[in-house]
A and B are shown apart, each in its own frame.
Chain A
Amino acid sequence: MKLIINAVAEEVLLNISITTLLEQRDIAANSVAVVVNGVITPRSSWSTTICQANDEIEIFSAVAGG
């Protein structure tokens, strides 16, 4: 199925969770925040949040700033 991940369309397996999505990208869970369709998804529910086709997933990380 198709997801929009940080504004880029990607094909992923069905029934993929946020946790798996991050693991596939080698993203450390404690370094990012995840937004699904405009709503911040708490880390505690990543493993049970199953992506749906055409979901817009945004993954934020900390960057240098003043």
Chain B
Amino acid sequence: MLTIADTQFSSRLFTGTGKFSDADTMLDAISASDASMVTVAMKRIDFTRGNDDILKPLVKAGCKLLPNTSGARTAKEAIFAAELGREMLATEWVKVEIHPDPRYLLPDPMETFDACAELVKQGFKVLPYVHADPVLCCRLQEIGCAAVMPLGSPIGSNQGLASAPFLKIIIEQAQVPVIIDAGIGSPAQAMQAIELGADAVLVNTAIASARDPVAMAACFRDAVTVGRQAFEAGLGQVQTSASASSPLTGFLRAQGAA
């Protein structure tokens, strides 16, 4: 069973709560996904537009919540957001994400590292969203992050595991759980991530933007389950040359015959 920090997770699929057309669809999709943790963001309430309380139904559904620091552009802002999340949700868990560039939303490694170092000191369970950078992931692991969350491709892009060669290195070196976050666009890609040895995947856009998000959530649930079974069964080695599956000698002509 997957364990992050001191907590066991029954599922290797985590989901986001963004981009769903309405709250009921989101809740039904989360339920169908069997996700063991879901992310939420934080925002100042806009009293002119009303406040949709997404928290109550998520808590009622028994979801473990992972507040993120989305919107933070610096380490200082991310630390503040983490402290807000701790106060609001009474949790020490935080997904640190700092992406100042709005076009590609790529995480800033320097600010992310600084934020994580401080938050670990403060006792947070820190799960940083990072580029698929094996060196950075090792450094974050060394300073005490509870997991690392390297991207497959840019957030919401559905491009899949564009970073696969580097994800393999991260997984090989990791002493903490590796959660592939961002860019996973299909159940096949989620399965591939888990087959590679990733401990979990975080999927949001691919479920929320599907024509039928609830059905798609169930597909991701099954894909992650099968991917883990395949990983545990042990995949065969990839080779450049052929390796016969059937005997090539002694059938049409005797071995050694001209």
Chain A residues in contact with chain B, CB under 8 A? 5-8, 25, 27-28, 31-33, 35, 40, 42-43, 58-66
B45 near A65: Cβ-Cβ < 8 Å: no
B45 near A66: Cβ-Cβ < 8 Å: no
Q: From residue 229 to 244 of chain B, which have CB atoms closer than 8 A to chain A?
A: none
Q: From residue 20 to 45 of chain B, which have CB atoms closer than 8 A to chain A?
A: 20, 26, 39-45
B20 near A64: Cβ-Cβ < 8 Å: yes
Interface residues on B, range: 35 or more
List chain B residues, Cβ under 8 A from A63: 40-43, 52, 54
Chain B residues in contact with chain A, CB under 8 A? 16-20, 26, 39-48, 51-56, 65, 67-68, 70, 80, 83-85, 87-89, 155-156, 202, 204-205
A65 near B39: Cβ-Cβ < 8 Å: yes
A5 to B42, CA, bound (A): 17
Residue from A7, A40, A43 whose CB has the most chain B CB atoms within 10 Å: A40
**Minimum C-beta distance from A62 to chain B (A):** 4
CB within 8 Å for A8 and B47 given contacts A43-B87, A66-B204: yes
List chain B residues, Cβ under 8 A from A35: 84
Pairs across A and B, CB under 8 Å, 9 listed: A25-B47, A59-B44, A60-B43, A61-B53, A62-B65, A62-B88, A64-B16, A65-B68, A66-B18
A64 near B53: Cβ-Cβ < 8 Å: no
Instruction: Specify the chain A residue showing the minimal Cβ separation from B40.
Output: A62
**Minimum C-beta distance from A41 to chain B (A):** 8
**Minimum C-beta distance from B214 to chain A (A):** 16
**Minimum C-beta distance from A35 to chain B (A):** 7
B204 near A61: Cβ-Cβ < 8 Å: no
CB within 8 Å for A62 and B67 given contacts A31-B88, A40-B87, A43-B87: yes
List chain A residues, Cβ under 8 A from B205: 66
A62 to B38, CA, bound (A): 12
